[in-house]
Amino acid sequence: MLKDRFLIVKIVLVIGIVLLALYVRLPGLYLNTKYRDIYFVWEEGRRIAAGVNPYARVEQSDMIHNEKYPTYLPPIYLVAAFAVKTGCQDFPTFLIFWRTLILIFDIAIGLFLYFYSARRGKFYTGLLCLFIWLFARWGLYVWEIANTESLILLLMILSLYYWDKKPRTAALLFGAALGIKHFGVVLLPVLLARSKDSREGLWRLVYILAVPALLSLPFFLWSPAGFSNAMVFSVVRESGSHLMEDSLSIGILFGRYGFYSRLFLFAVYGIYWIAAIREKWNLWLAAAVAFFLFVSFNPVLYTQYFAWSLPFGLLYLIKTLSRDKAAENNKSPAILRKKCEEK
């Protein structure tokens, strides 16, 4: 009876937190985000819907100054084009559609964190993680500007969760995340290194690249120079930050733009890949550190980047607590007696 009551309390608390999160986000549903990134995603979607290649205009770029070029892979723009074709002819209508979509993914990430913890006997930790994800300033800011982070992060979380259990599904999910925004590529060497052999690693890579490559090929053939410039632009563009000037990356020693400005970033990722692969890091930890390094060393830094490592850090916390509890259980007198009897 007491157990049933505690279960009801758990359900009420989780539902209460989710409802509070919806209430907090409600004012942002109609918040105007014109001239934010999502507005330009819609603009590129309109161009595709009108039969115009969005990447063509990057051909004339100086590869330094960002004129709101389409630097994502095509899938995200194709989603916007589909929305335009099916009725979202003006930006406010598209924004309602888009916010509804990211709200679902946002809540789903929080619930995944909770259930991942609760299934391991860590109810209070799960409740804390749910609360952190739904109310931390980074996630709320992403909701405010209606960015794509929640879509990408949920796909990546599911990909890492299934990486060893359902390899093909996991690879397709990871590829879909890269298709929306390709910052996850920094984790790719670590994931592929978990393959049993080079053959398995190759077919995993094929599955990962399947969605983004197939959807990108027509745009590359349509404008090879424009598409190539768009994909490289983020690596060489001028540095920038939402934060104060004191937060500039150490890469500024090598200039504000170009490959040289990313030398520290490339170096630290080289060390990271060696450490994570050779020492066989847990995937949650590997993802959290990969995105923390990006925030710490990339010359371009915007506020939404801080949301990237948060769910993976929380998942690693849950995993570590579960492992510690299992280790303690194995050392309990009852378990030790049973082992002695078996011997």
For 65-100, how does the pLDDT look when each residue is reduced to its tens digit (9 = 90+)? Answer: 666 788 888 999 999 999 999 988 899 899 989 999
Q: How far apart are CA 155 and CA 310, in angstroms?
A: 15
Q: Across-strand partners of 300?
A: 240
For 291-326, how does the pLDDT look when each residue is reduced to its tens digit (9 = 90+)? Answer: 999 988 887 788 888 999 999 999 999 999 987 666
Q: What is the DSSP string of 270-314?
A: HHHHHHHHHTT--HHHHHHHHHHHHHHH-SEE-GGGGGSSHHHHH
Q: What is the pLDDT at residue 159?
A: 97
Q: What is the pLDDT at residue 343?
A: 44
In 3D space, the residue among 242, 258, 236, 216 whose CA is nearest the CA of residue 73 turns out to be: 216
Q: How far apart are CA 177 and CA 18, in angstroms?
A: 25
For 173-190, how does the pLDDT look when each residue is reduced to its tens digit (9 = 90+)? Answer: 999 999 888 889 999 999
Using the 8-state DSSP alphabet, how is residue 343 labeled? -
Phi and psi at 248, nearest 5°, equal -60, 145
Contact 57, 69 (CB under 8 A): yes
In 3D space, the residue among 72, 58, 64 whose CA is nearest the CA of residue 222 turns out to be: 58
Measured CA to CA in angstroms, residue 226 lies from 53, 54, 61, 214 at distances of 9, 9, 9, 17
Token pair 């004012």 is found at: 27
What percentage of the chain has pLDDT greater than the value 90?
Answer: 51
Contact 290, 124 (CB under 8 A): no
* Tokens, residue 70: 């389409």
Mean pLDDT for 251-268 is 70
Strands (E) in 137-289, as ranges, are 240-241
Q: Write down the mean pLDDT value for the chain.
A: 85
Instruction: Return the higher-pLDDT residue of 253 and 133.
Output: 133
- Tell me: pLDDT of 235 over 50: yes
Lowest mean pLDDT among 34-38, 62-66, 77-81, 111-115: 62-66
Mean pLDDT for 313-342 is 68
The Cα angle at residue 295 between residues 78 and 261, in degrees rounded to 5 = 90
**Highest averaged pLDDT of the listed ranges 157-166, 208-217, 259-268, 318-327:** 157-166
Q: What is the pLDDT at residue 307?
A: 92
* Tokens, residue 226: 């424009």
Instruction: Return the higher-pLDDT residue of 336 and 202.
Output: 202
Phi and psi at 63, nearest 5°, equal 65, 20
Residues 321, 322, 328, 333, CA torsion sign:
positive
Instruction: Return the higher-pLDDT residue of 58 and 238.
Output: 58
Contact 142, 304 (CB under 8 A): yes
Q: What is the pLDDT at residue 56?
A: 85
Q: What is the DSSP string of 255-266?
A: -SSSGGGGHHHH
pTM: 0.87
Phi and psi at 147, nearest 5°, equal -80, 175
